[in-house]
Amino acid sequence: MTDTKTSSEPTEETAAGLHLGWALVLISVAQLMVVLDGTIVNIALPYIQSDLDIAQSNLTWVVTGYALAFGSLLLLGGRLGDLYGRRKIFMIGLAVFAVASGLGGLAQNTEMLLAARGLQGLGAALASPAALALIATTFPAGPARNRAFAIYAAMSGVGAAVGLLLGGWLTGLNAVGGFDIDGWRLTLLINLPIGLAAAFLAPRFLRESEVREHALDLPGAVLGTLGLLGLVYGFSRAGSDGWTDQWTLASLIAGAVVLTVFVFVESRTEDPLLPFRVFMHRTRAASYAAMFLAPAAMFSMFFFLSQYIQNVMGYSPIKTGVAFLPFCVALVFAAGLSSNLVNRIDPRFLGGIGTILAASGLYGFSRLPYDTTAPVSFVEGSYVTDLLPFIILMSFGMGMTFVPLTLTAVHHLREEDTGIGSGVLNTMQQVGGALGLAILGSAATQIVTDRSADLGQEMAKPGVGQMVFTEGASNAFLVGAFMMLLGSAIIWTLLNVKHEELATDGPEVAHVGV
């Protein structure tokens, strides 16, 4: 292997002149933008549909189009950073994301908006793995890197909640700076100046990684992207159209077949898109598996709880966003606490306890009140007593989980694999989230279908629909709790890296037995 330039692991001395605080601000802003954009338009969908006259069948693509492009292109985005420079790919990703956001905000028809959302997903897939890899290569191992990972993890966790809050607020605006503008457009336009500014400032605060003289594995890139596209689309359809839908089955089967071919091709390629050595480290593989399950369960909270708060409790969109503020505050606090504790406590204990706390929170949500014996007298839950304690419990659990797992997922990766390792972690989160919503959505739908059939004409009475929805959502939360406990079991049994090792750098070869 020939490198055009060399690089070394960051140390306190080499990092001193890099303005690490500002570097972290740029990376955090980028990660927050790409995560919150998965939810920021959700509340604006009715306004988008009315303004652009979008057919109901196409409306979900405003959200799904972004998720598909983002999830399917993450592996490619991670590897491009390894080959051509992570700062460069980070900047390109931010610029693409910002311009696409501007185009979406100015969209005059369905086609323009959906194309812009897909282009946003491409930009996010380039920027997100590069952002995580830049932390590993910019911040020295130990407390400085742990704090940086804590902020990154917090942004990944609070992004969905911030998206709901920001989307509700911006959608309610009709005039900015004297200009008459539809509020939903601001949910996209807000990214334009922020993204371009972050891309412009990146060369000042972030150092470039080494550029490698390897050709991109095009067959692997095509197969990996198409395979993930099939899975993410199939899981997304399953959540809305069911597992027996012909297009759901066709997409899932096609995705699985293509990914099987991808594995075969990659195992015989000299410089693969995805080197399988990334998975050969037991702790890293456990981290990927746990980070596949944890977000899958967490997304159920946002998906079902936001509907419960609006449709059952009657909160407005902006008030719904505010209801999730305690989650944001508590998660940031827990992530900061976890970044300090991980210097003294092994990641297995932090992540294991965190997943148990999160599972307890999901179980609490599964106890939301509804009266199955007298559906006409529906029992409405109280935010303070029935939601807030479990929102805080869930946020603490996620903060205690994301930080150590993010650290162990990329720790001791070979320097040339940092980008693809970050891409794998992001892919696990995205695909896991899609699968989680499909499974939990099915769990809720089954209850709703059965109860609706049992109640018959009773469904037309006031409060019955809310009762049925609450029962379905409660069942989904219970399934989510079991998924979180499965992730906890993986952490407790397989995550076996010591906290002392997180303060060191070095290639994975010396730690294969961990």
What is the domain-level CATH number for residue 35?
Answer: 1.20.1250.20
One domain, residues 251 and 193: no
Same domain, 83 and 56: yes
Give yes or no: residues 222 and 334 share one domain: no
Average pLDDT over residues 293-302: 81
User: Range of 369's domain?
Assistant: 274-514
Instruction: Assess if residue 9 is contained within a domain.
Output: no
Together in a domain, 438 and 385:
yes
pLDDT tens track for 347-400: 999 999 999 999 999 999 998 876 555 444 444 558 888 899 999 999 999 999
151 occurs within a structural domain: yes
- Residue where the block lists tokens 């490619």: 76
Per-residue pLDDT, averaged over 73-92, amounts to 92
Tell me: do 245 and 327 sit in the same domain: no
Q: Within a domain: residue 1?
A: no
pTM: 0.84
| 35 & 77 share domain | yes
383: left (phi over 0), alpha (psi -120 to 50) or beta: alpha
- Alpha carbon 80 to chain centroid, angstroms: 20
Q: Is position 2 within any domain?
A: no
Residues 321 and 427 placed together within one structural domain of the fold:
yes
**Any domain includes 8:** no
Task: Give the end of a domain, one of 272, 288, 309.
Answer: 272
Per-residue pLDDT of 52-75, as tens digits, reads: 888 876 777 888 888 889 989 999
Residue 404 has pLDDT above 70, yes or no: yes
Residue whose C-alpha is closest to residue 287's, from 225, 354, 335:
354
What's the chain's average pLDDT? 84
Q: Across 44-115, where does the E strand assignment appear? A: none
Cβ atoms of residues 208 and 85 within 8 Å: yes
Count of domains forming the chain: 3
Determine, yes or no, domain membership for 119. Answer: yes
Q: Are residues 252 and 279 in the same domain?
A: no
Q: Per residue in 29-49, pLDDT tens?
A: 898 888 888 778 877 888 888
111 and 150 part of one domain: yes
Q: By three-state DSSP, how is residue 367 classified?
A: coil
> CA torsion angle for 291, 295, 296, 302 (degrees, to 10)?
180
Most confident range (mean pLDDT) of 55-59, 150-154, 313-317, 370-374 is: 150-154
Inter-residue contact 181 to 174 (CB < 8 Å): yes
What is the pLDDT, as a whole number, of residue 159?
82
On the question of pLDDT at 199 being above 90, the answer is yes
Asked if residue 418 is part of any domain, the answer here is yes
Q: Are residues 429 and 317 both part of a single domain?
A: yes
Q: At which of 178, 202, 226 does a domain end?
A: 202
Considering the domain architecture, whether residues 302 and 234 belong to the same structural domain is answered as no
Do 453 and 358 fall into the same domain? yes
Domain boundary among 145, 172, 202: 202
